[in-house]
Amino acid sequence: MADPKTMTRLERSKKGADIRWNHPLPKATHTGPMKIGGYEIMCDVLDNGKRMIRQKDFLNAMGRGKIGGKERKGEDITKMPVFLQANNLTPYLETEFWHGGRSEIYKLQDGSKATGYEAEVLPKACKAYVKADDAGELQENQKKIALICRSMLYGLAEVGIIALIDDATGYVYERERNELQKILEAYIEKELLPWTKKFPDEFFEQVYRLHNWQWPKIHKNHPQYVGKFINEYIYQALPEIVVDELKRINSPNENGNRKHRHHQWLTESFGQKSLEKRVAKVTAALQFADSLDQFKQFMERC
């Protein structure tokens, strides 16, 4: 793949045209205004997960927008913004910026087209200008842009650009749902797995010891409290959404009994391994504890 920095202007234009016209355009699923550094920039989240800032608003914020209804001379939507192409800025632009700093065309929710830049362009462009300004490399007309960049970087000091866009567009709620779904998929199986022994006898023997119960020579059902103990110290350590899902898909019957063991619904690749690690940790705490109170103290530190 050719390095964008060594490609000719014609080669870059042809590449941009091929991407725009020979590939289906991504579509915005969430849209909203982002307020930063005293400026308002429309931004979008695309169906491919990219966070975009609108080109027009970005250029206007930098003082490089339209004049008299026409684009400034040299502003070409197929390229990186002209105000970032200056030779004195090149040393201060991160290498990967040359691959991701060009504009993209995508569809809005109403079917119209928009041109924008990936969100990371904004902070990287601002940093380049500020660094060049601090080094005394900027021309007088560039110093005005540097002041704007400092203001925007101040707005980004505590909150990242991705978080700002997700909040502005409302995508933050979708993101949370997606993350929760990923957790469930990692822990919960879609089909019940065969029963296998997940709690060693040593675990139960230590539970009995600390509760001063007689360990039965012949296996019998454990006291009902043991189930509560397991829920409290084993399953409650799993993510809350996983615990809630286990309760839902493996709910007790009218007699208060569950048809299956919770661990039969955990994925072999991740869920059961997490369970086994937790069982081992709790078993070790049980073994080292001289009393139930001491065991609880151990677990408070876990």
Nearest of 96, 127, 106, 130 to residue 50 by alpha carbon: 106
pLDDT in tens, 107-126: 998 989 999 998 888 888 88
How would you write 95-150 as a 3-class SS string? CCHHHHCCCEEEECCCCCEEEEEECCHHHHHHHHHHHHHHCCCCCHHHHHHHHHHH
pLDDT in tens, 140-166: 888 888 988 888 887 776 568 888 888
Band of residue 258 on the pLDDT scale cut at 50, 70, 90: confident
Contacts of 20 (CB under 8 A, 6+ apart): 78, 105
Identify the pLDDT of residue 158. Answer: 57
Band of residue 6 on the pLDDT scale cut at 50, 70, 90: low
Are residues 225 and 206 in contact, defined by beta-carbon separation less than 8 angstroms? Answer: no
Identify the pLDDT of residue 230. Answer: 94
Indicate the length of the chain as a whole number.
Answer: 302
Identify the pLDDT of residue 78. Answer: 44
- What 293-297 contacts at long range (C-beta under 8 Å, 24+ apart), as own/partner pairs, is 295/210
Structure tokens that stand for 157 in this block: 């000091």
pTM (2 d.p.): 0.50
pLDDT in tens, 55-71: 988 888 887 654 333 44
> Which element (helix H / strand E) includes 54?
strand 51-54
Residue 46 has pLDDT above 80, yes or no: yes
Are residues 56 and 67 in contact, defined by beta-carbon separation less than 8 angstroms? Answer: no
Residue 3 has pLDDT above 70, yes or no: no
Mean per-residue pLDDT, 273-285: 92
